[in-house]
Structure 1
C-alpha cells in the first residue's frame, strides 16, 4: 500500500518495536530517519545489531542519528537539515520495575522527551504523530478486558504515570495546536529481536541454561501477549489513518485530532500456559521458582481492541503457539545456544 508519508521520523529506532517498524516501512518503499540514544538499559550490542540489519537491508532509505530526543538543543540541531512527513514516537524509558530504581530516567525521557517531540511536531506542522503509550495506564483495573474508555487515574508505577501523562499532554497539543496524533496503548509485545528485560527472553535464557525461572505471584498472572508482526501491522494501519479534525479548537470539543487505541492480541493467556508453550519449543522442562507479586506489577492484562479494529481493520492473527516457537528459533540463532 502506498503511503501519504514518503519519509517518516521514528524515535527509538534501535529498539525492539522501533527497528521492526522501520524495517516494515522501508520494505513498502518509504524512507526512515531513525533516532535513538543507544542507552545501556539493556545490551547496546543488540541495538547496534538491529541497526546493522536495517542498514544492510535498506541502504540509503535509512538514515540513523544517535541522538537523545530529551536533549532539546541537540534534537533541534541534529534534525535541522532533515525533512520528514510524519513522526512515530516509540522511544521511551521502558520497564515497570526499573522505574522504582531510576525514576529520573523516566521523567527525562518520557515526560521532557515527549514534550520535545510534541514541540517538534508543532513547529514542523507534522500531519500525523503516532506515539507509544502502554497498557500500564490501566493500573490495577480488575475489569477485563481493558477498554479505552476505562478509568486510568490510578497508576501503580511511575512508568505508568508517565505514559498517562504523555496521553494528557498529547490531548492538550491536539486541542490547542490541532496537531493530529494517535496514541497506542501497547500490551505485552514479543517476538524475534525482542527485549532482554521481558519475561519471554528471560525465561528462554534461563530454561536453555538449566537455571530456575522466576515466576511471580505464584504463577497467577495473565498477559495479552502480542506478536511483533501483528503489532507492526497495527502501527502502520494507524499511521496511514490520522484522526479527523473539525478544524476548530472548541472548549470541550470531542473531535480534536487525537485518537487513543489499545493495540494487543485480544487474548489473555495464563502465564503458566505461556511457560508450557515455551517448554515445548525448547524441548525441555523448566525448573520454576515461585515468588510473590512484585511492586508496581499487575496480575492481568487483556486488550479490548474494538476501537482500533473498527477504525483501521486491525486484526491480530498470531497465537502464542506460533509466535513463541518463532522467538525461540531466532533466540537460538542469535545467541548460538
Structure 2
C-alpha cells in the first residue's frame, strides 16, 4: 500500500489570499457604506464539493459474503449537495455565522457544521464577504464507520442585492479543512490513511433572505420662521422652529440664539425683546438635537428679522391767521420735516 503526501493546491492558496484581501479592505471604502444593514440574513442554496483527500473506502458488504477490506480511495468531486448559513449582524460589517453544508456520492458523504465571524463590505449594487469558520467535519466513506473530526471553512463570496429582503449569492468559494481518524479500520503501517486530512474546495450559489433593519431614513431637518419679520424698536418678535424626521418617541433639546435683542426660548418657540436694539437686520438661530442619537441627530435653521428705529426728525405742521379786515384774513400753513 503506497504512501502519498497531501499538497495544498494553487486554488487553495488563491482562496486564502482572496479572503485576507477582503478582510483588510481600507477604511476609505468602508465610509461609502451609509445604509442600515439587516439584523440577520439566511443563505439557502446549492453546494458543490471537491473533498480533496484520500480515505479508506469499503466495498458493498451486502453483495458479498465476506466484507472486503477498506481500500485507499481518492474522494471524487461531489456534485450533489446543499448549503445553509445563518448570520446575525452585530454591526454594518461584522456578524456571527452558523454554517451547515453537506455533499453526497456513491463512495461516501461529507458534511460540516461550523461557527465563526463574517466580514461584509456593502455597496449599492454588490456585497463582498469573507468568513472564517470552525467546527465539525463529518466524513462517512462507504463501508466504513463515519468519522467526526475537527474542521474549518475559510473563504468568501459575492451577493447581488435584488430588493431589501432578498439577494442572490452569485458565488461563494471556500477552502474546507477536515481532520479524521480511521484507526479502527486502518493499521499503524499507513499513518496518512489512518489519520487523513481533507483539504477541499466547495462552491455555492443560491438565495440570501434578509431580515430586520430599518430602511435608510431621511436626514433630520429643521425650519425656522419669525413673526412679524419687521418691528419697531421695543416691539417683540416671536420665532418658531419645526423639526422633521426625528424619532417621535424621543424628547428633543432646543437651543436658541440671536444676533440682536434678548431671546428667551422654550421648546419650539422663542421670544425676542428688541428694547435698546439699534435698527438693522438680525438673525435668530435654533438648534434641535436628539440626545439619544450619537450621529446624525442634530439639525439647525435660521430666520431673519428687521428692527426699525423711529424717525429722528418727525414732520410737523404749523399755521396762523391774521386779524384785521375780513377781506384780508388768510391761513398760512408751513410744513417741516
TM-score range, shorter chain: under 0.3
**Structure with the larger helix share:** 1
Structure number with bigger Rg: 2
Q: TM-score when scaled to structure 2?
A: 0.20
- Which one has more relative contact order, counting CA pairs under 8 Å at least 6 apart? 1
After TM superposition, the score normalised by the length of structure 1 is 0.20
- Larger strand percent: 2
